[in-house]
Amino acid sequence: MISGERAQPDYPELAERIKQWGRELGFQQVGITDTELGNHERYLQRWLAAGHHGEMDYMARHGTRRTRPAELIPGTLRVISVRMDYLPPEVETTKVLGQPRRAYVSRYALGRDYHKLIRKRLASLAKRIEDAGGAYGYRTFVDSAPVMERALAQKAGLGWFGKNSMLLNPQAGSLFFLGELYTDLPLPVDAPFESEHCGSCAACQTACPTGAIVDDKVIDARRCISYLTIELHGSIPEEYREAMGNRVYGCDDCQLVCPYTRFTRASAEEDFAPRHDLDRAELLALFAWSEGEFLAKTQGSAIRRIGYERWLRNLAVGLGNAPWSRAVEAALQARLAYPSDLVREHVRWALDRQRRKQPIALSTD
Ligand code: SF4
Ligand code: SF4
């Protein structure tokens, strides 16, 4: 809620203290910006008009409330943008992508759902501001509302938009979460991150398995493995299934190849530590989970939102792409009667792929 009257604090001093408190609460960086997102609004409109959002209708649903913070939360004058690194220590990335019997789960989703943790920390930050300066209006967001989080972070000085459309920080890469605190406090703003440091690099565009980076900073979500494995509800178009390899929940390739990713610092947050061996599990082991196991093991995890059916769909594609083995074929066979057209169709595709590889595998056994 955005409030009316308050005593006038020293805003420049308060802004400095907010950044200090943010770091104490575990955010690696805090920046402050105003609510003017004109350029980003035009970019979003072009992206939507091109249909790049696929089934993500929610991207269009909120009109200008997404790009005009004060239309979403009346009275908003400033946005405090925060970032938090998430890569757990000693977690393999590209190595797992090269092991086709293992499942690759996007590294942000290995542990507990980040929304809760970041929302809690933002609430603590909001409380400290209130304790210092009295009641004020605010609302916190973590990737859950119509909020242009990367655009706001760029404006708040946290990084630039890479060609892969991720927010890149020269000292930290891009493996971090963003969160926002909308407020009616007239805090001094930080300088936006105007310079771009991709230069002639195009590693992300070259590495994208499905050619989803269709232009500088433009992702066609309909081709993106993150979208195909998480957002898409129906059948995964066959033309992308082979390129998915063993990526069963999200995709990090365009970040992993980025030269700035070498500056990633491991996160000390226990919540982000891998659960149930999700950083290294075999595809077969995950495909063997019953629905009850899926629900139990993904409790409090971002993975749960795709549900068991899409989990099996994605794993079936991974198994279709895995090297032939009797165990894989048997596991797929056992799912042929699963009561879901979606799952059965992907299982049939995977079995077909396995059988085509069988003679080659047998002849080299
Ligand atoms: S997440 Fe994967 S599929 Fe999507 S743009 Fe990046 S590399 Fe391509
Ligand atoms: S891989 Fe290269 S082009 Fe892509 S975002 Fe990173 S620096 Fe920019």
Distance from the alpha carbon of residue 276 to the mean position of ligand 2, in angstroms? 32
The best mutation among 161, 198, 206 to test binding of ligand 2, ranked by most ligand atoms within 8 Å of the C-beta, falls on 198
Strand partners, 84: 177
Q: Is 150 annotated as a binding residue?
A: no
Distance from the alpha carbon of residue 350 to the mean position of ligand 1, in angstroms? 22
Q: Whose CA is nearest to atom 6 of ligand 1?
A: 254
Q: What's the CA gap between 250 and 183, in Å, rounded?
A: 32
- Residue type (1 letter), 32: I
Can you give the pLDDT at residue 362?
56
- Residue type (1 letter), 56: M
Using a 6 Å cutoff on CB, does residue 166 contact ligand 1?
no
Can you give the pLDDT at residue 58?
86
Strand partners, 104: 247
Using a 6 Å cutoff on CB, does residue 106 contact ligand 1?
no
CATH of 282-365, one of 3.40.1350, 2.40.50, 1.25.10, 1.20.120: 1.25.10
Can you give the pLDDT at residue 62?
85
- Residue type (1 letter), 234: G
Segments in 190-236 forming alpha helices (H): 203-207, 225-226
Q: With a threshold of 0.85, does the pTM exceed it?
A: yes
Q: Is 224 annotated as a binding residue?
A: yes
| Spans of all domains in the chain | 11-87+108-183, 282-365
Q: Is 201 annotated as a binding residue?
A: yes
Using a 6 Å cutoff on CB, does residue 198 contact ligand 2?
yes
Using a 6 Å cutoff on CB, does residue 208 contact ligand 2?
no
Distance from the alpha carbon of residue 88 to the mean position of ligand 1, in angstroms? 21
Q: Is 235 annotated as a binding residue?
A: no
* Residues identified as active-site: 143
- Split the chain (365 residues) into runs of 10 and give each run's mean pLDDT: 62 97 98 93 91 89 89 96 96 95 98 94 97 94 90 98 97 97 98 96 98 96 97 97 98 98 96 96 98 97 96 98 97 97 98 88 49
Using a 6 Å cutoff on CB, does residue 202 contact ligand 2?
yes
Tell me the residue ranges of DSSP E strands in the chain: 29-33, 78-85, 104-105, 138-141, 160-161, 167-168, 176-183, 213-215, 218-219, 247-249
CB 35 within 8 A of CB 81: no
| Distance (Å) of CA 320 to CA 110, 232, 282 | 23, 19, 14
